[in-house]
Amino acid sequence: MPTEAAEPRAWWKQAVVYQIYPRSFRDSDGDGVGDLRGIAEKLDYLVALGIDIVWLCPVYASPNVDNGYDVADYRAIAPEFGTMADFDHLAREMASRGLKLVMDLVFNHSSDQHRWFRSARASKDSPYRDYYIWRDEPNDWRAVFGGGAWTWNEATGDWYFHIFAPEQPDLNWENPALRRELWEIMRFWAGKGVAGFRLDVVSFFSKKPFDAPQQGGIFPFYANGPKVHEYLREMRREVLDPLDLMTVGEAPGVTAEEAPLYVDPARGELDMIFHFDHAGIDRTPEDFWKPAPWKLSDLKEILTRWDRALAGRGWNSLYLGNHDLPRLLSRFGDTGAHRQAAAKLFATLLLTLRGTPYIYQGDEIGMINTPFENIGEYRDIVARNGWAEAQAQGRAESEFLADHILVSRDHARTPMQWDASSHGGFTAGAPWIRANPDFSATNVAAQRADSDSVFHYYRRMIALRKATPALIHGDYVLIDAGHPDVFAYVRTLGDVLLLVVLNVSGSAVDIGDLGRDGATVIGNYDGRGALRPFEARVLRMAGETGEFASPACSMNDVDPVYMGLDRRGEA
């Protein structure tokens, strides 16, 4: 493992990050859209939770074809979010509370309304022509949001490339003048006190030759192009190192084996990446927008594989929800009788793995999917485009929505539920997307008043993590990889050995003597014995840690008897 001395920028390893989707967090002026002043109102809430870093999804000027992931001006604040003065106010308010701000940078593509693209599409002589990617003939590659990846441009009689919507033309990273502009934009925000960046689809920056026919999943065609590491090293040299900025790159299509190429500190690229292996666990391999069944053993295998791949060769990022995924409780947990227990269980998982945890807004109160009733209630471009394609194929709305409700990004984008007043206290006006009717029962005000709530469990779990170096830096070893319902592992550092046992099922599970001699550090039920539905326990064990600390030991060769666990973990 690289030492802290070798990596002086590693303050972000001890940190807990909170992701804000500004459109849906808090509306201060009643126009139905969340805004920067609204975020500033809620900073004390984040401090009470124990947050160190806020990652703000894009707040730049945008026509909002993809809710801000289509940037028309990288140096301007979108009017619906406020002004640059509001941004500066927010940055000051954060700094005075010791909160660090991470901005979202959308550098794979711009909006088609960006002045660079407007100029480039008007004439082949535009100075910005080479900021984008043009061909006389398209190939058969598909766009992530449906349709082909090339769009015809009448004025210049050729085609431009876009991995996402036609309104999101891809930037041409081959062009050094473009890269210099991007470094300047990063310097601009760093000058405003920003501590780091989340880089949107970083793995797509360098394009592969457009010659192979596209078959199967599309991410592999777009990810890991030949020059991506060269570009990231240049970014590191030019901007990140001189300004001491943290980075986390969103990395679809990057495997655990490839991950160290992006985050091994010795290579000087990024600090962390977000992988997609568990994001895609309930999707078909060919189509990210098609639901598929998932198994706990796969989730355990994925999270364990990523820990191993980065152990000593980089640092992991941990997330179970974000603005692109349905709510984690609806995907992996329980939304009925065991909802509270399940929410606390996933808090335990997120905050006891090795890596920097990212909490998505609302997960800390256990928000769940919204019962959207018809296509008109969805806002996301993925829903609208998917429905247009379904109609072209003659599919019925009910049939399309039966699938789409399981994958919709809009579930993560409904208003944050602050209290039991109208629209969950998010806005005094009409919200841009409907609130989940569940806000009257599940909201921040009710949970802050209840010491046994999901919110207070997150708060305690965050405090525990920060006070426990073994939970941050300790080795991780999975126990009983094949158990269908129990996710159990140890974290070890020096003579500290913590055992985490999670029953990811709605039934009781007998775990024999597992953890019998341990002292409970935290849990979501009282008492010992068989695990109750969605029970989570963290125990401190006395004894020899050497056996677990060996990086050579494989997932299956930890002797379960050592921990008092029989092979199946059941009586």
- Residues with active-site annotation: 200, 250
| Cα angle: 94, vertex 250, 314; to 5 degrees | 90
Q: Which of residues 347-366 bind ligand GLC (CB under 6 A)?
A: none
Q: Is 66 in the site for ligand GLC (CB under 6 A)?
A: yes
Beta bridge partners of 496: 493
Q: How far is the CB of 285 from ligand GLC (least distance, A)?
A: 18
| Residue with Cβ nearer ligand GLC (228 or 470) | 228
Tell me the three state secondary structure of residue 272. Answer: strand
Cα distance between residue 107 and residue 564, in whole Å: 51
Q: How far is the CB of 209 from ligand GLC (least distance, A)?
A: 23
Q: How far is the CB of 106 from ligand GLC (least distance, A)?
A: 5
Which residue of 52, 324, 363, 475 would you call a contact of ligand GLC, by CB under 6 A? 324
Q: How far is the CB of 467 from ligand GLC (least distance, A)?
A: 32
Q: Is 444 in the site for ligand GLC (CB under 6 A)?
A: no
Q: Is 69 in the site for ligand GLC (CB under 6 A)?
A: yes
| Residue with Cβ nearer ligand GLC (327 or 459) | 327
Q: Which of residues 368-427 bind ligand GLC (CB under 6 A)?
A: none
| Residue with Cβ nearer ligand GLC (250 or 363) | 250
Q: Which residue is nearest to ligand GLC (CB)?
A: 69
Q: Which of residues 465-484 bind ligand GLC (CB under 6 A)?
A: none
Sign (positive or negative) of CA dihedral 32, 33, 39, 42: positive
Q: Which of residues 230-269 bind ligand GLC (CB under 6 A)?
A: 250
Which residue of 16, 106, 195, 383 would you call a contact of ligand GLC, by CB under 6 A? 106
| Residue with Cβ nearer ligand GLC (200 or 410) | 200
Total site size for ligand GLC, rule CB under 6 A: 9
Q: How far is the CB of 222 from ligand GLC (least distance, A)?
A: 11
Strand pairing category for 150-153 and 158-161: antiparallel
| Residue with Cβ nearer ligand GLC (107 or 306) | 107
Start-to-end CA span in the chain (Å): 38
Cα distance between residue 185 and residue 58, in whole Å: 14
- The phi and psi torsions of 208 (rounded to 5 degrees) equal -80, 160
Closest CA to 196 of 207, 182, 181, 186: 186
x/- contact string, 160-199, with ligand GLC (CB under 6 A)? ----x-----------------------------------
Residue 157 Ramachandran class (φ > 0 left, ψ -120 to 50 alpha, else beta): left
What is the side-by-side order of every strand in the sheet holding 519-523? Answer: 475-479, 486-493, 496-503, 536-541, 519-523
What is the side-by-side order of every strand in the sheet holding 158-161? Answer: 134-135, 158-161, 150-153
What is the side-by-side order of every strand in the sheet holding 100-105? Answer: 272-274, 246-250, 196-199, 100-105, 53-56, 17-20, 356-360, 317-319
Beta bridge partners of 101: 54
Q: Is 80 in the site for ligand GLC (CB under 6 A)?
A: no
| Cα angle: 535, vertex 279, 297; to 5 degrees | 50
Cα distance between residue 457 and residue 548, in whole Å: 28
Q: How far is the CB of 221 from ligand GLC (least distance, A)?
A: 16
Token output for 449: 């008043």
| Cα angle: 205, vertex 210, 215; to 5 degrees | 100
Q: What is the 3-state secondary structure (H, E, C) of 290-337?
A: CECCCCHHHHHHHHHHHHHHHCCCCCCEEECCCCCCCCHHHHHCCCCC
| Residue with Cβ nearer ligand GLC (409 or 456) | 409
| Residue with Cβ nearer ligand GLC (283 or 323) | 323
Q: How far is the CB of 303 from ligand GLC (least distance, A)?
A: 20
Q: Is 112 in the site for ligand GLC (CB under 6 A)?
A: no
Cα distance between residue 142 and residue 149, in whole Å: 5
Which residue of 201, 228, 310, 343 would you call a contact of ligand GLC, by CB under 6 A? 201
Q: How far is the CB of 323 from ligand GLC (least distance, A)?
A: 6
Which residue of 27, 80, 200, 282 would you call a contact of ligand GLC, by CB under 6 A? 200
| Residue with Cβ nearer ligand GLC (165 or 235) | 165
- Residues forming the site for ligand GLC (CB under 6 A): 66, 69, 106, 164, 200-201, 250, 323-324
